[in-house]
Structure 1
């Protein structure tokens, strides 16, 4: 394992304990959402002075965020009151919230954004026996252009668009299913083009490339599935099983696909060792495999607290992490 050194950091202030919930990598630098209901943008070259932009969201309780446009620093946030806000982080003060959308009273648990498809999608908590996927066209009025309300039987906790086709959407739910949709189809009986049954509550799921999809459950079971026509429908392309046993970790924070298509990075944490490990996932001729020999460690991590999210800026050779200790940290190769 090759270890990085923590070169910079910022701890969120306040009398109450603050959890940093997620990171959104933007061209200008990492943005973060936190349990004090804030959306913050940081200078990647200087975390210690604090955020360069800070906005207080108004969702009742902030639950999720996604980048709409990484280059223009436009971010969507959502929360417990069912609302979605669009933020232009280049703006200051009240001008930064450039749009607000809502169509339901159910808490929003997940978001997906596609600037090329002009789409923002929200996935809701199960309320009154219904969990919904709501799709807005940001060019039109605040009413969703599509609603899918019978595609999952439990909370919709993950949404992601296909890397090259803005019409193809993926969802994951605590009902154990990962669904892939063609959002040009309005009929709920026809909209699902593929379903993968992970047989465990989905924590994270997304596309690894144009055909392959990963799923990791809340009990850390991990598998890769394929939409390719020559693959048996619904079966796992590579089933890794329980990652706690395979990696010797206690939890998986997330899996981040590399932008150049060269595999993905799995973020695995171990509380009692105060360690967070970035393990490369690559595809061979037929199956996906872990490259433990070239994993990258963040020693000390976020002490014994959970690392909630990580992101990397390859050109700058920097990794950022956030955790339940209230810190955002920057990591680089040691001297």
Structure 2
């Protein structure tokens, strides 16, 4: 495992006891951070110093999510427990668009797609489940009301919303009700829009799409799911599958692969998220440990042999492409990681109210250095030629 070098630490002039929840790019030389003091703070990537005009205060009564709208990172979208989404022009520090939830539900998740004028919002259920946790799809050109409302597919807080990277009409939603739902946003009715329901059997923390439709039409339908109990599972969604929520056990012929609790296997105490490299397409599991104070970035590996299930993804700490951030954020939890793929610099934020920059070398931990990638491929080829038994996932 490679080791990243700490380059800098910054506090962004935050008040004491603040958390930093999310990091997003804001132009070529800056990042935006969403903080528990309900602010958006834009800072220089090199110095980790707050920019002179980089503070937007009181974005919401209680902030929950931060996303980019435009590719340049000039417009940022935020949501809050006030049930509102605001689009902020970071150059003027003004809200340029606003979307209000039809009913007074606090919002827990959002995702955006500027090319198709899409904004998707997911609600937080503040009472004990079951209850209403609606998802609304907005056309940003018509902010008066959602164009599609998905009201009956989840009965607890929405924790993740993800559009397919190559097919933005396909929406993945995840919830603490234990379900991951797949929708076709081209449909006008919820029953017609719901394409599949995956049951992880524990509250879902994060979920997302695997693979690339451009390179592998099968893996483009694969989904990873992490539970709040740190259980990992992989699922496949059939293009032609039409599953109702009342029949959540119906699945594709390819059976899901459940890895189970990864904490002992990966030597971690919690999983931050799974990140996808835009340049290589590699997915990386960010796994943290507050006791030993480190964060590991562990690439997901595709099935090791043709005899394995197509969903037999795995990640191991012995992968030469893996990277450790020693010290991480001390005994506080890391909340987000962002990689500048052009420079290989990694940025992390956490519940200590700090942002940190790390020298990850070539590839920034998302794909590994050239020499290590070459060594990894060589080792795999040697194992195959010798007929050795492949390692099992984890």
TM-score scaled by structure 2?
A: 0.79
Which residue number in structure 1 is paired with residue 50 of structure 2? 50
Q: Is the aligned partner of 1:213 residue 2:223?
A: yes
Contact 1:72/1:88 (CA < 8 Å) preserved in 2? no
CA–CA distance in 1 between the matches of 2:355 and 2:14? Answer: 15
Q: How many residue pairs were aligned?
A: 330
CA–CA distance in 1 between the matches of 2:87 and 2:262? Answer: 36
Contact 2:271/2:286 (CA < 8 Å) preserved in 1? yes
Which residue number in structure 1 is paired with residue 100 of structure 2? 102
Deviation at 1:230, TM superposition (A): 10
Which residue number in structure 1 is paired with residue 64 of structure 2? 63
Instruction: For structure 1, list consecutive stretches of 5 or more residues without a partner in the other structure.
Output: none
Q: Secondary structure at the match of 1:289?
A: coil
Instruction: For structure 2, list consecutive stretches of 5 or more residues without a partner in the other structure.
Output: 212-219, 242-250, 362-394
Q: Is the aligned partner of 1:245 residue 2:267?
A: no
Q: Secondary structure at the match of 1:233?
A: coil
Q: Which has the higher strand share?
A: 1
Which residue number in structure 2 is paired with residue 288 of structure 1? 313
Q: Is the aligned partner of 1:150 residue 2:152?
A: yes
1:230-253 per-residue CA deviation (whole Å, 9 max, x = no partner) reads 995286543221110210100000
Which residue number in structure 2 is paired with residue 274 of structure 1? 293
Contact 2:108/2:124 (CA < 8 Å) preserved in 1? yes
1:196-225 per-residue CA deviation (whole Å, 9 max, x = no partner) reads 111010100111233111110111001121
Q: Secondary structure at the match of 1:249?
A: coil
Q: Secondary structure at the match of 1:193?
A: strand
Which structure 2 residues correspond to residues 60-209 of structure 1 after superposition, within 5 A? 60-89=61-90, 91-94=91-94, 97-103=95-101, 104-126=103-125, 129-209=131-211
Q: Secondary structure at the match of 1:246?
A: helix
Which residue number in structure 2 is paired with residue 258 of structure 1? 277
1:11-42 per-residue CA deviation (whole Å, 9 max, x = no partner) reads 14355310001112355232210001111222
Deviation at 1:87, TM superposition (A): 1.5
After TM superposition, the structure 1 stretch with the greater mean CA deviation from structure 2, 59-68 or 247-256, is 59-68
CA–CA distance in 1 between the matches of 2:117 and 2:36? Answer: 28
4+ runs of 1 displaced by more than 6 Å?
A: none
TM-score scaled by structure 1?
A: 0.92
CA–CA distance in 2 between the matches of 1:106 and 1:176? Answer: 20
- What value does the CA root-mean-square deviation take over the aligned residues? 2.1
Higher relative contact order (CA 8 A, sep 6+): 1
Contact 2:124/2:157 (CA < 8 Å) preserved in 1? yes
Q: Is the aligned partner of 1:324 residue 2:385?
A: no
Structure 1 pair 250/72, CA: closer, same or farther in 2 (3 Å)? Answer: closer
Structure 1 pair 249/234, CA: closer, same or farther in 2 (3 Å)? Answer: farther
**Larger Rg: 1 or 2?**
2
Q: Secondary structure at the match of 1:184?
A: coil
Contact 1:275/1:301 (CA < 8 Å) preserved in 2? yes
Query: Quick one: which of 303, 309, 312 aligns to 2:339?
Result: 312
Deviation at 1:57, TM superposition (A): 3.6
1:159-214 per-residue CA deviation (whole Å, 9 max, x = no partner) reads 01110112111100000000110011122222111111110101001112331111
Contact 2:39/2:59 (CA < 8 Å) preserved in 1? no
Query: Quick one: which of 292, 295, 298 aligns to 2:325?
Result: 298
Contact 2:13/2:50 (CA < 8 Å) preserved in 1? no
Structure 1 pair 267/303, CA: closer, same or farther in 2 (3 Å)? Answer: same
CA–CA distance in 2 between the matches of 1:22 and 1:139? Answer: 26
CA–CA distance in 2 between the matches of 1:86 and 1:229? Answer: 34
